[in-house]
């Protein structure tokens, strides 16, 4: 039995790059989709928020003199591209996925409408939330916290390159150990970066736990959903 009935999975755009320097790596996206498929087979309802960092980030545009809000809209459009690629790969793998966008772009994807998203999830479809929160100056981490709270997900799963939150940077400090669990308050007092500050505050206010784990570790997503000791759980 899965530990969660409904999850919000946050994938970074970079996770789609694989070993490439930019864009979407085919083998990587297929592998990731298969990991998601495994958990849907367990009967877990899955919503996904995907970033856009493999294509464009607002800060990058801002740093070369672009108007920041315009650059952020470009970043949000990048997440739409990733969402389309993800849903298309899901379809090819025999899953049913729906993309819902926070920005009106009706000829391409349907708009985000909460009751409809809930209906899709109840029908066992994977819902991919595109265009972040729809607002500049936010991130897809915040979109994950927001949508997670809106759909009543039991947990936000933050997929990263590292398999959890560590006492120190494991690349620099060989004695660093992984927290199996940590409270929101302790994560703050130890100054641990779990999600960006806005996203973290939203999860904390809504008492929505966060699980940080590595999407590059085979089967990790399934172990997380089964409630095994994988990654780090940030709890109330
Ligand atoms: N973005 C935004 N508002 C949002 C979500 C995203 O403006 O609610 C923009 C922002 O410019 C960001 C880009 O979209 O840099 C891509 O998202 P993010 O950096 O969160 O992607 P990730 O790092 O997860 O790949």
DSSP string, 147-192: HHHHTT-SEEEEEESSSS-BSS-TTT-TT--B-SEEEHHHHHHTT-
User: Using CB atoms within 10 A of its CB, is residue 46 exposed (0-12), middle (13-18) or buried (19+)?
Assistant: buried
Confidence check: pLDDT of 34 > 90: yes
- Does any ligand 1 atom lie closer than 6 A to the CB of residue 198? no
Q: What are phi and psi of 160, to 5 degrees?
A: -130, -170
φ/ψ region of 124 (left if φ > 0, alpha if ψ in -120 to 50, else beta) reads left
Confidence check: pLDDT of 185 > 90: yes
CA 236/CA 195 separation, integer angstroms: 15
- Does any ligand 1 atom lie closer than 6 A to the CB of residue 18? no
Confidence check: pLDDT of 96 > 90: yes
Helix residue spans in the chain (DSSP H): 26-41, 58-63, 68-92, 114-122, 140-150, 184-189, 197-205, 220-225
Q: 30 falls in which pLDDT band (50, 70, 90)?
A: very high
CA 52/CA 140 separation, integer angstroms: 8
- Does any ligand 1 atom lie closer than 6 A to the CB of residue 45? no
**What is the predicted ipTM?**
0.98
Confidence check: pLDDT of 35 > 90: yes
CA 213/CA 221 separation, integer angstroms: 8
For residue 166, which of 200, 194, 201 has the smallest C-alpha distance? Answer: 194
Confidence check: pLDDT of 83 > 90: yes
- Does any ligand 1 atom lie closer than 6 A to the CB of residue 13? yes
Q: What is the mean pLDDT of the chain?
A: 96
pLDDT of residue 92: 98
How far does the centroid of ligand 1 lie from the alpha carbon of residue 2, in Å?
30
What is the per-residue pLDDT across 123-182, written as a single tens digit (0 to 9) for each? 999 999 999 999 999 999 999 999 999 999 999 999 998 999 999 888 899 999 999 999
Give the CA angle between residues 46, 52, 53 to the nearest 5°.
125
Confidence check: pLDDT of 199 > 90: yes
Q: Which domains does the chain have, with CATH numbers?
A: 6-235 (3.40.1160.10)
pLDDT of residue 171: 87
- Does any ligand 1 atom lie closer than 6 A to the CB of residue 51? yes
> Which atom of ligand 1 is found nearest the CA of 143?
8
> Which atom of ligand 1 is found nearest the CA of 11?
24
Confidence check: pLDDT of 98 > 90: yes
- Does any ligand 1 atom lie closer than 6 A to the CB of residue 136? yes
> Which atom of ligand 1 is found nearest the CA of 10?
24
Give the H/E segment covering residue 211. strand 210-214
Binding-site residues for UMP, in ranges, read 52, 72, 133-140
Alpha carbon nearest to ligand 1 atom 23, residue? 53
pLDDT of residue 170: 87
- Does any ligand 1 atom lie closer than 6 A to the CB of residue 139? yes
pLDDT of residue 169: 87
Structure tokens of 229? 């000791």
The pTM of this model reads 0.97
Give the CA angle between residues 17, 81, 112 to the nearest 5°.
130
């Amino acid at each position: 039995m899965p530990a969660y009935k409904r999850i919000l999975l946050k994938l970074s755009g970079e996770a789609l790059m694989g070993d490439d320097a930019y864009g979407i790596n085919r083998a990587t996206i297929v592998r990731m989709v298969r990991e998601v498929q495994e958990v849907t087979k367990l009967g877990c309802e899955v919503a996904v928020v995907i970033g856009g960092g493999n294509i464009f980030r607002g800060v990058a545009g801002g740093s070369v003199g672009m108007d920041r809000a315009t650059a952020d809209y470009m970043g949000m459009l990048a997440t739409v591209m990733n969402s389309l690629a993800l849903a298309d790969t899901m379809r090819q793998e025999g899953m049913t996925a729906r993309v819902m966008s926070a920005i009106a772009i009706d000829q391409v994807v349907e708009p985000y409408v909460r009751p409809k998203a809930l209906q899709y999830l109840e029908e066992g479809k994977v819902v991919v939330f595109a265009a972040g929160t729809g607002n500049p100056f936010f991130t897809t981490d915040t979109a994950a916290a927001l949508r997670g709270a809106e759909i009543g997900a039991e947990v936000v799963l933050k997929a990263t390159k590292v398999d959890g939150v560590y006492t120190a940077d494991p690349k620099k400090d060989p004695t660093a150990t992984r927290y199996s669990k940590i409270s929101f308050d302790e994560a703050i007092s130890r100054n641990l970066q779990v999600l960006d500050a806005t996203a973290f505050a939203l999860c904390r206010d809504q008492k929505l736990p966060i699980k940080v784990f590595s999407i590059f570790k085979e089967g990790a997503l399934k172990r997380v959903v089964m409630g095994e000791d994988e990654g780090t759980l940030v709890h109330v």
